[in-house]
Amino acid sequence: MPIVLLIRHGETEWNRSGRVMGDQPIPLNRTGEEQARTCAGILFRAPIAAIYTSPVLRAAQTAEILRGPQKIPLHRVPGLSEIGVGDWINRYWHEFADDPAKREWYTHPDRARPSGGETLREVQLRAVAAVEQALAHAHDTPVVIVTHGDVIRAILAHYLHLDLAIIRQARIDHVAISGLDLTGATAQLLFLNHRPGLETLL
């Protein structure tokens, strides 16, 4: 199996305001577009078998920018969609900061479910299935997965055998890249949450 590059979508205005998007078609803002273009400059130097993206607008837009003029196959995969947030959609995170359901969502993500939404365990099952399907066609060439923060955490937890509650502590920034090497008997984490240009902030 090849290397998998997991990339979160770029920023939207709803991210900036702290509003719950779910799978609504909220577009990237200018910052998000620029983040994706910067990342594309890095990917341009790497051999990529294909890009697989969540069909949610902000992720699909990010994937298109990452692809650029290159003729890399691009596939929209429902299994990579954002976690279902149910009745929380359209609300602001600060409105229910003390809600017991939200606290459990972070402390017991394998079983906690927003009303009408998904558990992180359910997300993990569909997302890993999507990654495995992508790998079956990769022929030992790296693949890019463009998706959402919690989906990336769920994928990392599966391959690294980590508890879902622990992986929730992993920071996944907009258009940050996390890399997994799946060529051996056990997965290796190559890097986590790499942000192009991060060295200029240190």
Contact 146, 55 (CB under 8 A): no
Span 115-169, pLDDT tens digits: 999 999 999 999 999 999 999 988 889 999 999 999 999 999 999 999 999 999 9
Judge whether 82 counts as a catalytic residue.
Answer: yes
**What are the residues facing 179 on neighbouring strands?**
5, 191
pLDDT at 202 over 50: no
Rounded CA-CA distance 14/27 in Å is: 9
pLDDT at 200 over 80: no
Which pTM does this prediction carry?
Answer: 0.95
CA angle at 143 for the pair 137 and 146, rounded to the nearest 5°: 120
Q: Of these residues, 11, 82, 118, 174, which one is catalytic?
A: 82
Q: Of these residues, 9, 148, 158, 174, which one is catalytic?
A: 9
Judge whether 139 counts as a catalytic residue.
Answer: no
Q: What is the pLDDT of residue 197?
A: 62
Domains, the chain, in order of start with CATH, read 3-195 (3.40.50.1240)
pLDDT at 199 over 60: no
